[in-house]
Amino acid sequence: MTTLVALARRKQVPLRGYEARASGTLEKTRDGLRFTAIRLRVRASTDQGREDELRGLVELAEKYCIVSNALSVHVELEPIIGADQPG
């Protein structure tokens, strides 16, 4: 949504409404449990006559979405473990 809002502002396309629903497929792979598919249904509205512009911006937002792009990268775990000092 943040990417879409930024693109809509830049292109001066009014964003009058926005709703998104996400679902995913979790499967057991040889590397363990993994999301193998994520579906994002976006409902957005704008001024009459600008629907095609907004549709194009929604598609562009998916391409540049930081969260979507981050999901395809390896997650590196850096544990920092400590213990409380006795009172």
Model pLDDT for residues 34-67, shown as the tens digit of each residue = 888 888 888 888 888 898 899 899 989 988 988 8
pLDDT at 74: 55
Other CB atoms within a 10 A radius of the CB of residue 8 amount to 21
What number of H helices and E strands is found in the chain? 3, 2
Cα(21)–Cα(77) distance, integer angstroms: 28
pLDDT tens for residues 21-34? 888 888 898 988 98
pLDDT at 38: 82
Q: How confident is the model at residue 85 (pLDDT cuts 50, 70, 90)?
A: low
Average pLDDT over residues 6-16: 94
Angle at 27 between CA 59 and CA 32, to 5 degrees: 115
Domain 2-70 fold: GMP Synthetase; Chain A, domain 3 (3.30.300)
Q: How confident is the model at residue 5 (pLDDT cuts 50, 70, 90)?
A: very high
Domain coordinates in residue numbering, the chain: 2-70
Beta bridge partners of 10: none
